[in-house]
Structure 1
Amino acid sequence: MKIDERPVVTRLESSSGLRRENFTRISKNGFGDRYNGISHSMSYFQGKVYVGTSRCNLQMIAVNNPPSTAVWPVKCPENVYQLDRRAQIWCYDPTNPAGGWTNAYTAPWVTGSDGTEVPQDMGYRGQAIFQGTSDSAPTLYVCTWSPSKGPAPQLLRSEDGLHFERVGSLGSGDRSFNTFRTLYPFKGRLFTAPTGRTKGYGQADDCMAEATVYVTCDPLTQPWQAASPPSFNDPTNLTAFEMVEFNDHLYVGTVNATSGYQIWKTKAEGDPPYQWTQVLANGAYRGNLNEMPVSMTVFNNALYIGSGIQNGGYDKVYHIGPAGAELIRIYPDDTWDLIVGEARLTPHGYKYPLSDIGPGFDSLFNAHFWRSVVYDGWLYLSTYNWSIFLPYLSQQNWSNTFKKRIQKLGIHNIVQKWGGCDLWRTQDGVRWLPVSRNGLDNPYNYGIRTMVPTPHGLFLGTANTFGPEVCLRVSSGEWTYAPNPSSGTEVWLGVPPQQTPVVVKAEEPSQTVTELKEKYDVRMYEPLVDEYYDYSDFYSWGYWDAQTQTQKEACLNMMELLISLIPEKQGNIIDVACGKGATSRCLLKYYPPSAITGIDISDKLMDTCRQNAPGCEFVVMDATRMDFADASCDNMICVDGAGLFDTRERFLHEAFRVLKPGGRLILSDRLISKAAVKRLRSINWENYVRDLKEYDTLYQRAGFDNVQIYDVTPECLGGYTDRFSDFICRKFTTQAIDRDTFNNFMSFILSRTIIIRYYVFVSAQKPV
């Protein structure tokens, strides 16, 4: 056995990032009104969180611009103006959570173009904290979305978050523009761009307006001026959709249905319009499948841009999509890399996704990378996932290829397995971990539209317009409308683990632990497996050398090699994931029974352990939440368990806590391939590592020193699959097992060779 060449690793000193259990829902059902479908804008202002809603979204689309559907998802009146569509702004004080949410502002009723009463605003799509030349302090500004019968969109302004005033029209004031999405402060000026245009009630066109950026230094007293040439001198640019400051420039992304989005930048010096430089074109050379840049965020001195296709993944006006979103990052010198997406040849060379993940995080349904934000050293990225709309869509215009894919998966299965938006996080921009892949446990949460970091945690606002009544198919096959208790926008708060430690009692295991227990209570007691292991109660692959004849011998070899990595076999030792106790029995050769404690997740396993290693202590315990005192263990061993824990990295941090200074963690571990993670939903994404260097980093991040990793894949996996295959074939040829049993075991053996990328032995020491 030879040690691998040691990789060079940079120690990461930062938080472990937010996991699903760190998020708490602090508002549901649209702040008590399910017509509040989207938390469309959000800001942290004067110590409070402000959320602007848009209302009755699906009811409005049904009238103005419906896609081809078999049945409409929500119940609609004949006249959408019968509904109260007045947009709202809600306020939350994180220092007084018992106070709940308060309504800070509701749009007024005004007289519409036809003389009827209409809401002045039906949505608030953008917010910014900005101090203009007439503002005495940073002020909250909100841009509005107007109904087709109402007046032109205006800018709202509030100095205290309690009183809001209107400060005139946005942009050019053209009434045909009905919505503005982005407000962005840069170099003492406020920038915006029109995002939508209307032809009038019932005659809405696509969402595009004009590709012009507008600027003002003082919304109270100064008019808006054009900051860019019309359409950036390219008439195929439909609008300026997103903007952000990066490298002392304002970067702007345009929607382009012809060739894909464009990225432009300006220093915004002198008088407007400013000088602009094109950074990227043709949708990062993917074409119009990258129709628009939906999110733009600076992280670790690079600009991350997430793409999308308008109208939720299929642009029916320009016949684009469906397709999964992509993520790129641009560097200060304007070179760029593809992070998540489709490999391709570009004028800047061949680009492949550095994350090794395809469009939409390998999901066609993730049509937008909708929002991204930096919080506590991590980049968080949310998606718009349209799978929940699938049951309602007409298949008439689907391509045969797409129709076959959907039929193969099954619409019901798609909604059950992939319904709800995603939330991902990364610490380096390349290795991505999922926080939630099911809309925070609500499939009707098809997107996370807003994310705001605060000193109190990370706030999220969802898009959930499936209410108040949703169309459901009953047992007879008919469709009927029924109240949807899961409808309306939700707001969630994520608080770092160190502020809200998760305490889980041993008698209350997680779902992952419960599922593993049920599986191994059966698998580890299969008669054929017992026979193959010579009734030794081992369950590892073992270490095969030229002299090894049986699986039992291989397992004994492996234990001797692992134990040899402990230089001084003194004090106590914990056998983590001890299985049926065969590993603990091997430890008795070097330790007295009183020094050995075995832990695993099953009472059934513990009973067998006590027979195999009498005198040792065996306790049912989750390895990621060990009930041992800090610095209470001299050494720790774990055979084949770490890759199954929820998660491996959490276990490493827990092992580091329990070990004494100078103590060693010795283990064997299976590193799975990306293909396994993508295909097997039972495998935890967070346990996937790209290579041995990244695997080494997990130990460094947990605090371990003197980490040694040995790649023993051929000696362990190769030997095991060869011998086990021979054993199963002999059983089949002698008719000891039937064909179904033979096929099942051979499929299992073959899958190991596909799923496992590395099998390793590890020795890691806690610094003295």
Structure 2
Amino acid sequence: MSYRWSNLTPVNGFDGGNLDNAKQNNYAWSMGELGDYIYVGTGRNIVYQLLEQGEIFGVQPPPILTPEHPNNDAEIWRYHKSGYRGWERVYKAEAGKELMGFRFMITYTDINKVTAIYVGGFTITGVSYMLMSTDGEHWEEITPGIPDGFSTRTMLVYEGRLYMGATNTLEQTETTYLYWSDNPKVGWQPVEFGTGANNPKGEVISMASFKGHLYIGTAPFGGFEVWRTEGRLLEKDHWKCVVDKGAGDELNELPLSMEVFKGNLYVGTGIWIGFKSVDPSKVVVLPKGFDIIKVNGRDEWTVVVGQEPLWPTNPTTGKRNISCYPSGFGNIFNNYCWQLRAYCNTLYIGTWDSSILWATLLQTSYEPPIKETQTLMPSADVLNNIISSIGEGILKCPEFKKLNFKKWIQMLICSIKDLPETYGFDLYTTYNGKNFACQSVEGFDEPHNYGIRNLLVADCDLYLGTANPFLGCEVWRYRRR
């Protein structure tokens, strides 16, 4: 790793006065800047909650992922850029609201010239939440003006307005939920879409302003799509599809990250928690490494990181090519291209590497325990859940037969042979969008840092926030000066 990176978190999860609470701040789920401070909105017990709800093949939370006193109420912490005050908590979600995380934050100056930081919440209770603050100390819950049951996924300032892509946390749909406001304290207005072919479909996952247009990445069934406005304004029936059908691989379900770099738009893909399909008919899909797609100013796209497709499709917007870099840079556990960020003539790529999570879950489900035997056999319940989920998916979706299992097995074998040396997130960089260099494959020497959840450019520095469900999140800073 580069020695220019410095760890700003002497205590994982920020809270030096309560280490159990600190561990539960395990995702730096959102990051923003206001004045002399950077802010981190945490995700609380994300993996623990998924396991508690039976979302991962019925596996129960192992002790290493279980807090002593579970508390899922999200927090906001801030750090003075000079470092002289350390970390201080400036907000704790009210008990009972089950506001388990702050998924996105952004600074915006509204129509009244009031600058504030806006923070979108995540909850599964069916209630929508958003906070705002003009000083970073006093926080006001504002009426978001979006229906209950929605959570903030992404936000972007475009043409003087603040846009928000929302996700239906209660039920995955193919509807596009996009809202705008020039004064969020007053409320939000839905962007109106038509029903014809010249309108996006799928929930909005990412956004970017590029070449005078608003680009949105959506997640319909059958592979991610990228759409843009035909003009500068957002008008019903005036949208253009730029990338469709997962850029030739249906397993590219989510356009998780989007960034403009040296005259091109880059899009990084993923699958929910590595295997859970947005299409409820599929139940589960095979995990794969992410792809990165480059879109030029003429809306022509090219795969710059990605192998031959595992689930081939026939896009109408272009033809899939084979990159010289395999999906996930050759690591099948690099399930997310979680972050793309341009900084000082360099594009940074931050991944979610799920390998240490899977290793932990399988080790704790062995029957009998691994320390007493060399037989690597998951418990009967876990094995039955995995088999039944895959079998149910195949029965419900016969197109599973199109999957390139031979290629998938090859990728799995190549990825496993490098473990455990490659536990932890990967960080890659490129200066030209063609040649990529690896900066870290082991989470900055901490294998439990399994994801780069955020990359934030503030002043002249680059801040990196991790996801670490084992120990609590970290924040790092890169200084070129």
Cα distance in structure 1, aligned partners of 2:262 and 2:232: 26
Match of 1:193 in 2: 165
Q: Report deviation, 1:320.
A: 2.1
Q: Which of 225, 239, 242 is 1:262 aligned to? A: 225
Match of 1:333 in 2: 298
Q: Report deviation, 1:334.
A: 0.4
Q: 1:52-91 counterparts in 2 under 5 A?
A: 52-68=41-57, 72-74=61-63, 83-91=70-78
Maintained 8 Å contact 1:265/1:279: yes
Maintained 8 Å contact 1:325/1:369: yes
Match of 1:464 in 2: 468
Cα-Cα RMSD: 3.0
Q: Which of 122, 128, 145 is 1:145 aligned to? A: 122
Q: 1:571-582 counterparts in 2 under 5 A?
A: none
Maintained 8 Å contact 1:240/1:254: yes
Cα distance in structure 1, aligned partners of 2:161 and 2:38: 23
Cα distance in structure 2, aligned partners of 1:403 and 1:186: 40
Cα distance in structure 1, aligned partners of 2:195 and 2:428: 36
Q: Does 1:164 align with 2:136?
A: no
Maintained 8 Å contact 2:343/2:462: yes
Cα distance in structure 2, aligned partners of 1:123 and 1:140: 16
Decide which structure has greater helix share.
1
Match of 1:225 in 2: 190
Q: Does 1:381 align with 2:344?
A: no
Maintained 8 Å contact 1:213/1:228: no
Residues 129 and 209 of structure 1: CA distance in aligned 2, closer, same or farther (over 3 Å): farther
Q: Report deviation, 1:155.
A: 1.9
Maintained 8 Å contact 2:174/2:220: no
Maintained 8 Å contact 2:219/2:253: yes
Residues 104 and 131 of structure 1: CA distance in aligned 2, closer, same or farther (over 3 Å): same
Match of 1:304 in 2: 266
Cα distance in structure 2, aligned partners of 1:105 and 1:219: 20
Match of 1:51 in 2: 40
Residues 169 and 231 of structure 1: CA distance in aligned 2, closer, same or farther (over 3 Å): farther
Match of 1:101 in 2: 87
Q: Which of 430, 435, 442 is 1:438 aligned to? A: 442
Q: Does 1:492 align with 2:443?
A: no
Q: Could you report, residue by residue, the CA deviation over 1:331-389 in whole angstroms, capped at 9, with x for unpaired residues?
A: 111012111102578666654345x1110011111111110111111000111111112
1:61 alignment partner, SS class: helix
1:417 alignment partner, SS class: coil
Maintained 8 Å contact 1:85/1:119: no
Q: Could you report, residue by residue, the CA deviation over 1:288-343 in whole angstroms, capped at 9, with x for unpaired residues?
A: 21101000000001000001111234439423221111001111110121111025
Q: Could you report, residue by residue, the CA deviation over 1:489-547 in whole angstroms, capped at 9, with x for unpaired residues?
A: 11111122xx3xxxxxxxxxxxxxxxxxxxxxxxxxxxxxxxxxxxxxxxxxxxxxxxx
Match of 1:31 in 2: 14
Match of 2:101 in 1: 123
Residues 65 and 132 of structure 1: CA distance in aligned 2, closer, same or farther (over 3 Å): farther
Q: Report deviation, 1:218.
A: 1.7
Residues 223 and 389 of structure 1: CA distance in aligned 2, closer, same or farther (over 3 Å): closer
Q: Report deviation, 1:261.
A: 0.7
Q: Which of 110, 119, 122 is 1:132 aligned to? A: 110
Maintained 8 Å contact 2:354/2:450: yes
Cα distance in structure 2, aligned partners of 1:271 and 1:375: 29
Match of 2:149 in 1: 176
Cα distance in structure 2, aligned partners of 1:243 and 1:436: 27
Q: Does 1:283 align with 2:226?
A: no
Unmatched tracts of structure 1, length 5 or more: 1-18, 110-117, 199-204, 467-486, 500-768
Q: Report deviation, 1:74.
A: 4.5
Residues 273 and 129 of structure 1: CA distance in aligned 2, closer, same or farther (over 3 Å): farther
Residue identity opposite 1:492 in structure 2: W
Residues 313 and 418 of structure 1: CA distance in aligned 2, closer, same or farther (over 3 Å): farther
Aligned length: 430
Q: TM-score if structure 2 supplies the norm length? A: 0.81
Cα distance in structure 1, aligned partners of 2:197 and 2:439: 38
Cα distance in structure 2, aligned partners of 1:427 and 1:409: 27
Residues 233 and 176 of structure 1: CA distance in aligned 2, closer, same or farther (over 3 Å): farther
1:449 alignment partner, SS class: strand
Q: Report deviation, 1:26.
A: 0.8
Q: Could you report, residue by residue, the CA deviation over 1:99-144 in whole angstroms, capped at 9, with x for unpaired residues?
A: 11111211123xxxxxxxx13521100111112213x333211111
Q: Could you report, residue by residue, the CA deviation over 1:691-723 in whole angstroms, capped at 9, with x for unpaired residues?
A: xxxxxxxxxxxxxxxxxxxxxxxxxxxxxxxxx
Cα distance in structure 2, aligned partners of 1:222 and 1:249: 24
1:59 alignment partner, SS class: helix
Which structure carries more relative contact order (alpha carbon 8 Å, separation 6+)?
A: 2
1:416 alignment partner, SS class: coil
Q: Which of 422, 425, 445 is 2:429 aligned to? A: 425
Cα distance in structure 1, aligned partners of 2:415 and 2:164: 43
Maintained 8 Å contact 1:180/1:196: no
Q: Report deviation, 1:34.
A: 0.4
Residues 249 and 425 of structure 1: CA distance in aligned 2, closer, same or farther (over 3 Å): same
Residue identity opposite 1:387 in structure 2: S
Identity within the alignment, %: 27
Residues 384 and 410 of structure 1: CA distance in aligned 2, closer, same or farther (over 3 Å): closer
Unmatched tracts of structure 2, length 5 or more: 16-21, 363-381, 391-404
Q: 1:636-715 counterparts in 2 under 5 A?
A: none
Residue identity opposite 2:285 in structure 1: I
1:157 alignment partner, SS class: strand
